[in-house]
Structure 1
């Protein structure tokens, strides 16, 4: 059986956009450097499998994330001008934006924090100071005609600070949206979120005037809750989900952050619910099996294990 039986639920959205983060968030924590040609083929295969947007890389300083030191070279392999889908890149600061502009990028993302400690460890900034750092990045990107996405990390829990208050997350997210970001991705960076917590956070954003059309969810599967949390987010009207092919990923600044929600597992669930997503599951599984071979270990995705 290569696809689940389809039993639609009319209370769910008709269609979902999967924001594929495997080439960036999935690979950034790999200790062995993946050849740039392999990364480029990974991106091409993901786009060919029907993923509508594929985050390609990050213009972070090579000292902090050596795996992504080849960002400019990778983009020459990808030929942004002829790319079949948007290929966003992460830009941590104005220097990162300069590099993205020079490479011809049209979609960028910034990566903020909902907690003081993670802002210090990840951004070398205070929680309030991060906004001063991001403001000129967003302003210049928008003036250049780029689309800007904002991530907020540690939305459910922080390994140093524990549970993160919902109003603190909403405040951080609203400040990034108020700068001009078109979409806000809420990250369960260490995978401690649960279904009711997901719903409460989405509702809190709604009460603060931020509709579900502005939000995306980014789940990690540390405690096996990513798919349940995605189901809860669907119930609350979310239509954009970040996912990583094969369940690759982690966070180089938070050791307890394990793999992302596997794109294949999300696709299997969406298919069974009758929700359109545009992804060819068999092609995606084949891509993740291939990538697992490149990395020398099996994929943690349940669907890849079942179908691969």
Structure 2
């Protein structure tokens, strides 16, 4: 079994960003340093967005300076919401990936990034150019990829159309994002195989939100579709503060690990460090 068959993306940034009480920089850094030793492919560790929008992430640059990358193969991903964020993120050599939430819901794109879908497409184009020049790679999240609560039109064809546009612009990694927890195994199985088949040279991943009772069946559906890039967060913490107040949380990483282990997939994770992170998480959440 290849060590790199699955790209597990741990998302502490997504888990922490909506917390009301500010998590001290030192505690954030301690938590992230533990997660860096577990062996995930990627750590979604912070974001370069307006502190007014996401106060919890105001110290991302300071946290980054406190991370020990000397003994880890895990790559860092930072979220950006506009060109200013891109320009800030690319200054940091330690960051490998820049993630941008590209919503196929016009309402949510305005709500999340204060820009239209078309304006965001221009941002993506400029982001790709800047990433290329700074030896970084863009990860584009197709947010509201399974529908939206705003009444904006949604269907499988719209999802595929925007994936087609993004791939045409040069995007090499797309993560289909649920955002509000309305994905179902049926929707996952209807969308993902088509995307994976049509865009065979593009890395297609999944970023799901879910209630605890539905997590397992969603993980299983994604696995059955052949997805190799899976976003999750320890204990299923988190959600998107720009979407709604009553959001379901992320897919729980421990359930992803348990499921993949049950399928005999070799993950090569340091479970001692993972358990340390689980214990420390109680100080944060």
Contact 1:251–1:257 (CA<8 Å) still a contact in 2? yes
Contact 1:17–1:277 (CA<8 Å) still a contact in 2? no
Q: Per the alignment, in what secondary structure is the counterpart of residue 279 of structure 2?
A: helix
Cα displacement (A) at 1:197: 0.9
Change (3 A) 1:212 1:156: farther
Q: Per the alignment, in what secondary structure is the counterpart of residue 62 of structure 1?
A: coil
Instruction: Note the aligned Cα RMSD (angstroms).
Output: 2.3
Specify every segment of 5 or more residues in structure 2 that has no aligned partner in the other structure, as ranges. Answer: none
Change (3 A) 1:40 1:14: closer
Change (3 A) 1:99 1:14: closer
Instruction: Give the corresponding residue for 2:109.
Output: 119
Change (3 A) 1:219 1:235: same
Q: Distance in 1 between matches of 2:274 and 2:212?
A: 24
Change (3 A) 1:86 1:197: same
Q: Per the alignment, in what secondary structure is the counterpart of residue 38 of structure 1?
A: helix
Instruction: Give the corresponding residue for 2:186.
Output: 196
Q: Distance in 1 between matches of 2:200 and 2:215?
A: 22
Q: TM-score, normalised by structure 2?
A: 0.91
Q: Per the alignment, in what secondary structure is the counterpart of residue 35 of structure 2?
A: helix
Cα displacement (A) at 1:206: 4.3
**How does 1:24-63 map onto structure 2 within 5 Å?**
24-63=13-52
Number of aligned positions between the proteins: 282
Contact 1:217–1:230 (CA<8 Å) still a contact in 2? no
Contact 1:139–1:179 (CA<8 Å) still a contact in 2? no
Which of 224, 227, 233 aligns to 2:213? It is 224
Instruction: Give the corresponding residue for 1:66.
Output: 55
Contact 2:172–2:202 (CA<8 Å) still a contact in 1? no
Cα displacement (A) at 1:83: 5.5
Q: Per the alignment, in what secondary structure is the counterpart of residue 102 of structure 1?
A: coil
Q: Distance in 1 between matches of 2:257 and 2:228?
A: 13
Q: Per the alignment, in what secondary structure is the counterpart of residue 172 of structure 1?
A: helix
Which of 133, 154, 161 aligns to 2:123? It is 133
Instruction: Give the corresponding residue for 1:293.
Output: 283
User: What is the CA deviation profile of residues 222-268 of structure 1, one whole-angstrom value per residue up to 9, with x for unaligned ones?
Assistant: 37323211211111111110011121111011114321001011101
Specify every segment of 5 or more residues in structure 1 that has no aligned partner in the other structure, as ranges. Answer: 1-9, 296-308
Q: Per the alignment, in what secondary structure is the counterpart of residue 249 of structure 1?
A: coil
Instruction: Give the corresponding residue for 1:165.
Output: 155
Q: Distance in 2 between matches of 1:264 and 1:286?
A: 13
Q: TM-score, normalised by structure 1?
A: 0.85
Contact 2:29–2:67 (CA<8 Å) still a contact in 1? yes
